[in-house]
Every structure is written in structure tokens, then in C-alpha cells.
Amino acid sequence: MDNTENTPTEPVVEQPAAPEIPAFLKDVDPEKRDAILAKLGRFKEQAVAVSEAAEGAAEEPAKPQGEVVSGKDVDWSEYELDYSVKHLYPEARYQNTPQGPRWVAQIDEFFSTERDFGSFNKRIKNDTEFLNLGQFLNDMLNSPEGWKLISVLPSGTGRAGVLMQRVVPVILPDPIPLKTETEVAVPTDAELANVQTAADSFAAEVGGAEAAATTEEVQQ
């Protein structure tokens, strides 16, 4: 029985085409020619890398360099900061937020109110808070919001003023780097073409020298 139809077909893997060898390198020794082509390839890759890096620098917003996670690792004199919060940057941390990676500082938030020593089980604010001081403090100090009691002071007959405090994160405005370094303009197409021409000329000169040396060796 012919099982040809059930025989799996081997996938055809296309081999990358060999790079075209310039005419001036065809008569050069293969090993020397490969070395020249490798140098030329590295030269072209560096030119492309420089171009891509310059384009990326123009598109991406400036941010702290390196593995910076603490404001203590940054020289903030090199940045323009919002005056109202500039003192928070040294203690800030660079971390992920719902708005993306940002500088986040921890600040103190305070809350004050009045409560009764009596009025047990009575609620206010649409039945969301106790009016009684003890019950109010019990809810606030044991809540997941992190409130701490700062002070309780009598404020009148049967009443007391309460001061609460907690620490909350605040996202700081993005620092703007001061332009202390020389900016590199993005290469134009004409400039990239000149780099290509220079690379080809370099390869031609090296290839011609190698070919001449090879010819001289043969003649000897």
C-alpha cells in the first residue's frame, strides 16, 4: 500500500541569501575578503545605531538615568522642579503608578473634627460616622486608611476636638532636565547617504590594497 499521502512533508527552510560581494573584492583572498566585509558591516551597524539612538532621544521624555529608585541618588540641581514641591524630590521614589513610572513622595495629611463624649450609637453624615467620640475613634484608628490620633481637646460642654493624621502618596510633576549637554541632531537622509558612501569608499580602498598585496604575492 502506498502511504505517500500520509507521510509528513518536511518544512522547507529558506536559507538567507548570501550578501552580494562588491566587484572590487571578488579577486581578494576569501578570508581577507570576509574580514573586510565584517568590518564594513560593523561600520554600517554603528551608523544605524547612532541614528536610532538620536531619534529615540528626540521622542522619549527625559527621565533619570540608570537604576534610580530613590531621590537621594539624583543630583536635583540638574533639573527644573516645581517650586511648591521641590523639597519632596530627595525623599521621593521612582516607581510604577496608574500613570506609569513616576516620582512618588509620601506626605502627611491631617483631618480635624468635633465629636461628643455622649450620643452613643448616634450616627451623622448620612449614617456613615459615629457622633460619639469613642466609637468614632474606634472606626478611624482601625480602618485600612491608616489614620492615627494626634490629639483630643475639650471644645465645649460634652464635646471634644479631634486631630487625625495619616501618610499618603502623591505623584510629583515630572522633573525637566536642564540642558547642560550638547544636543546631537538626528541625522538626515543625506547625511546617512554620505556615511554609506564613506563606508563603501573605505571598503574599496581596503579591498584594493588587499588585492594589490595578493597580486604581488602571486607574482613573487
pLDDT for 218 equals 45
- Show the low-confidence residues of the chain (pLDDT under 50): 57-62, 66, 215, 218-219
Average pLDDT across the chain, whole number: 78
Look at residues 75, 52, 56 and name the one whose alpha carbon lies nearest to residue 64: 75
- CA angle in degrees (0–180, nearest 5) for 81-83-88: 75
Provide the β-strand partners of residue 165.
110, 148
pLDDT for 136 equals 96
pLDDT for 180 equals 60
Q: For 169, which DSSP code?
A: E
pLDDT for 124 equals 93
Look at residues 55, 79, 74, 64 and name the one whose alpha carbon lies nearest to residue 179: 79
Burial group, residue 36, by CB count within 10 angstroms (0-12, 13-18, 19+): buried
pLDDT for 114 equals 95
pLDDT for 113 equals 95
pLDDT for 17 equals 55
Burial call 73-86: b when 16+ CB within 10 Å, e when fewer: ebeeeebebeeeee
Looking only at the bridges linking them, the beta strands covering 148-156 and 93-97 are unpaired
pLDDT for 157 equals 86
Q: How much is the pTM?
A: 0.49
Contacts 24+ apart (CB under 8 A), 147-150: 147/111, 150/110
pLDDT for 219 equals 46
pLDDT tens, 80-118?
999 999 999 999 999 999 999 999 999 999 999 999 999
